[in-house]
Structure 1
Amino acid sequence: MPEIVHIASRQNPLVKEVQKLRAKPAYRRQQGVFLAEGHKLCADAADAGAHILWAVCSDQAQQRYPEACRLVLSAAARSYTATDEVFLKLSGQKAPQGVLCGVAEQSVLAPLDQLDVNRSYLLLEQVSDPGNVGTILRTAAALGLGGILLDSGCADCLGDKAVRASMGSIFKLPVYRVDSAPDTVAWLKRQGLPVYGSTLSCRSVDIGQVDLRAPCAVVIGNEGRGITEPTAAACDQLVHIPITPAAESLNAAAAAAIFSWEMMR
């Protein structure tokens, strides 16, 4: 285990750095780091072999979660303990568990040229709610998809809310960032993967009429607008999930779950 430094002052440089990382997403991305908070989430990062740049455990956390603290502190390049008062300044939660780590982005972001064309994927286009992004990550990992692709209009998958909603799944499946959904659809098709677009368009067919069990990709669009017309035009087939008139549409995460199950059943 690396040397452990105890933090007793709220003026410690790490406290100021964490506050800056939380307040300025652009700075966080520039530094190539994201935050994971909670004893289970941080333990998941360590178990997955993520590159933990630093980890902090509060005095109280070391008593409540001794195994998780030992695991996380031993996996980190820099290890700290902190008073409970100091940890409140580090935390983004009202009732923190007392375990926080900074993880290198490249631990979870995969280059597109490493995508396995023998697996199935979800491509998210402009999904703006970070809770939905995190929930979709969790569902994709649970059902065994090959990974998730997110276009530049999606919520930050490495922001606090998305990471928390993923329940550790952010560390368990590849995540690919792409610029343009239509261009990515075209690229996936060139790799031999059929691409289906989830939409209620009159041009779409019932999901029951499509066999999604072979390797493929499904595009899930924005919560309000759905997939864009250029993306729809690029897809091989448009598909809808039949619903009753009681609702206008399904939540993006719910639609993603249904498509994921159809792909992996």
Structure 2
Amino acid sequence: MKIVVIGGTGLIGSKVVAILRQGGHDVVAASLKSGVNIITGEGLKDAMSGAETVVDLANSPSFEDQAVLEFFQAAGRNVLAAEAAAGVRHHVALSIVGTDRTPENGYFRAKVAQEKLIEASHIPYTIVRATQFMEFLGAIAASSAQGNTLRVSPGLFQPIAADDVARSIADVALEPPRNGIVEIAGPDRAPFDEIVARYLKATGDARAVVRDPEARYFGGKVEQHSLVPLGEARLGRIGLDDWLRQARAKA
């Protein structure tokens, strides 16, 4: 099967490409490096030719509210149009758990716009909503820092390792389209502030974590279940403590 992975050289994309190639599939890792520009449309027609499935893992180079919205809208329209012309039979896209429950977060609003384009495209699809990646815990902690203090919400948090994200996406790419959403999350669920405190302790960061119900997550208020699956979800195999041990070993 020919599968196109857009963003195929990124954190998740490179792992998905490797898994699918190991399974014997013809995989195109589409990115600017391979001459595919999803904003201008350059290279999309050739990349899509003969493809049965397209996995869209592209991410915006800017997280500014308007820029990220424009990126996902332009990219979504171009990719879906190219898929329709090529007769693609399954569109798989990576999104975020709770993206429709935190409208104050500009990035989440942009992902909702992307999802709406997919749903309206008439191309069979599966949207994979993932919780936050463990690999981003450092950046998440930094975003909540005020001097030597991190103010973090006690809302529930359930981060997932990038390797587990990639495995789930590769599995979904080989399954029939759901015309709906699959949610994935890590195996450990705990209050957000406790997860951040565990991360800081494991990395030798002496800053203090303060539990603050009013603390924002990139502009969005975090309620008890804002960032975790509300129903059934596929859980990853890598727990937070195991991931932290692996991360320390690689450091």
> Normalising by structure 2, what TM-score?
0.30
Larger Rg computed on CA atoms:
1
> Normalising by structure 1, what TM-score?
0.29
